[in-house]
Chains A and B, each alone.
Chain A
Amino acid sequence: MPDALVIMFVPFIACLTLVGIHGYFGIHVLKREIIFIDIAMAQIAALGGTISMILPVEVTTAWGIVSYTAHGGGTIAYLFSLVLVTIAAAVFTYLKSEKLYVSLEALIGITFAVATTGAVILIDVGAGGDVHVHDMLVGSILWVKWSQVLKSFIVYSMIGAFHYRFRHKFLSISEDYQKAKEKGINVRLWDFLFYFTLGIVVIHSVAIGGILVVFSFLIIPASISVLFSQNWSTRIMIAWIGGTIVTMLGLYFSWKIDVPSGPSVILFLGVFLFLALIVKALNIFGTSEKNVPGQSASGDVSE
């Protein structure tokens, strides 16, 4: 048992930071119905990493110019990812328009497909493809390092504080895009900032947990919380508490019967959602009064 604690402590803390930021973002994403934005962003960031792997990037050092190829987590790869994510955020912001009659989710999907297959084409040109694709999906949360967790935690805290400071803007837009526009909010600017911050979060999260774990932490706790409340703070609390419990169970289970920890956590999230659906169907908490489906609790925004 102490062994489990030692091995699982860092992954556990890592998962908690993921739960923290994604439990919050998930509610936005669900409201805006851009479910797959995070997978698309992750893939774009990965494309940045792939490009940096293929281009031999020249780095000037004190000893002159050396040819430098970034591998996965290098600074150059990070910069490439950041640039691509920024571009994507700008494109998504620009393409949200009634003129198109095509939902943003469709364009996000196409972005996802192009980024993935683009990476496949590039990897074909480069080398070591298969492994890379697999690693990106699964991640290796078991082997995550303290430094990584700390770095992500700092980044998430900054983004979290930013979102808290300007919560009225972000929440208003997610609740009702049109109304926010009429209220005089610069929707373009705040949309861009939303995608941009989400993109940065995703870059860090995927490095820790892999695309799939991150996606699950984003969508499933938010889906559970919408079953029981329309209030933002309540939903965030439900997502956080649920996410924490699931993480503990998932990691313990994965250690106990020796299955990969990422998939284990995801499956427990699924189980948890299933239980939530049953609880909801049986109406155990008797919460039917204020949960009128589809009615947005706009009053919460000003809390």
Chain B
Amino acid sequence: MLETIIFLLPPITACVLLAGILGYFGNHILTRGIIFIDIALAQIVALGTMIGLLMGFAEESISVQLVSLVFTLVIVSIFALTKFEKQRIPQEAIIGIIYGLGLGLAMSLAEHIPRGSNFIAKTITGNVLWVTWDNVLWCFVIFSVIGVIHIFSGKYFIQISNSKDSLPFSIGKVRLFELLFYFTFSIVIVKAVPIGGVFLVFTLLIAPTSIATIFTQRWVWRFIWSWIIGIIGSVIGIYISYNLDISNGPAIVCLMGIFVFILAFAKIIFGRSKVLKGVTN
């Protein structure tokens, strides 16, 4: 029993860290309706890594990660700066296009890299079970710094997220904060995806906040519930996957995903929307 716990401690810690930072970002992502941003970004990160590999850097070296990060930040800047007052092509569609093109390019490049297609498959699942303490510590440091940035500028981010059809302040200021928001988000994705895989990251981002949002629309409570749900969900998921001997990432994803649907059905069947509406914000 003790051995199991010691063995599972790094992945659990990693998941708790991921659930913490992604649970926070997820509320913004959901409110903005840019659900697939993380999958698109993860694809861009993978593409950046492949470009790094093609440039001759070793896999998992610092240089490759840097190339990947720079590439990602460039793409993200384009995305942040294409937010207009009136959105003709929905932002989610732009995300879709970035995803499609990113994956298309990655697949063309995959032919030129040894085990290239294997590389695409690897980003899909990830492997949180083999995360090292070293890696966990790095995540903690980076996520903390980003957390501090968001503590100071959080209220601006919330204002931007809340405004669908208008801008809360001048377009210049909005774009500045958008850059900051997406830069910090990209760094989180760059760190998180190699650990958890695209789908675990996606689920930790969207599922907890979806559950929270079904029941409360206040930002503070959404954050708190997202954290609780994300952390409990991933710990239970790791435990179940370990016992049933199935991949841990997919187990957490399926567990939380199915949970969202059960609660969504429950809410529609039993929910009293009229009464709740008064509480909104």
Contact = CB atoms under 8 A, between A and B. Distances in A.
B247 A226 contact: no
A91 B260 CA distance: 13
Interface residues of A, number: 56
Nearest to B211: A102
Interface string A96-111: 0111111101111111
A286 interface: no
B129 to A, nearest CB: 13
Main secondary structure of the interface of A (DSSP, over half): helix
Interface stretch (A29-37, A148-156, A166-174, A175-183): A29-37
A33 to B, nearest CB: 5
A188 to B, nearest CB: 12
B181 to A, nearest CB: 19
Contact of A103 (B35, B124, B260, B271): B35
Given A33-B92, A134-B120, A220-B97, A103 B105 contact: no
Interface in B190-242: 199, 202-203, 206-207, 210, 213-214, 217
Contact of B257 (A98, A113, A125, A133): A113
A100 B104 CA distance: 35
B197 to A, nearest CB: 9
Interface stretch (B57-65, B133-141, B261-269): B261-269
Contact of A227 (B88, B108, B118, B121): B88
Contacts of B104: 212, 216, 262-263, 266-267, 270
Most buried by B among A259, A269, A270: A270
Contact of A110 (B94, B97, B260): B260
A212 B103 contact: yes
Interface of B: 30, 33, 35-36, 86-90, 92-97, 100-101, 103-105, 107-108, 111, 117-118, 120-121, 124-125, 165, 199, 202-203, 206-207, 210, 213-214, 217, 246-247, 249-251, 253-254, 257-258, 260-261, 264-265, 267-268, 271, 273
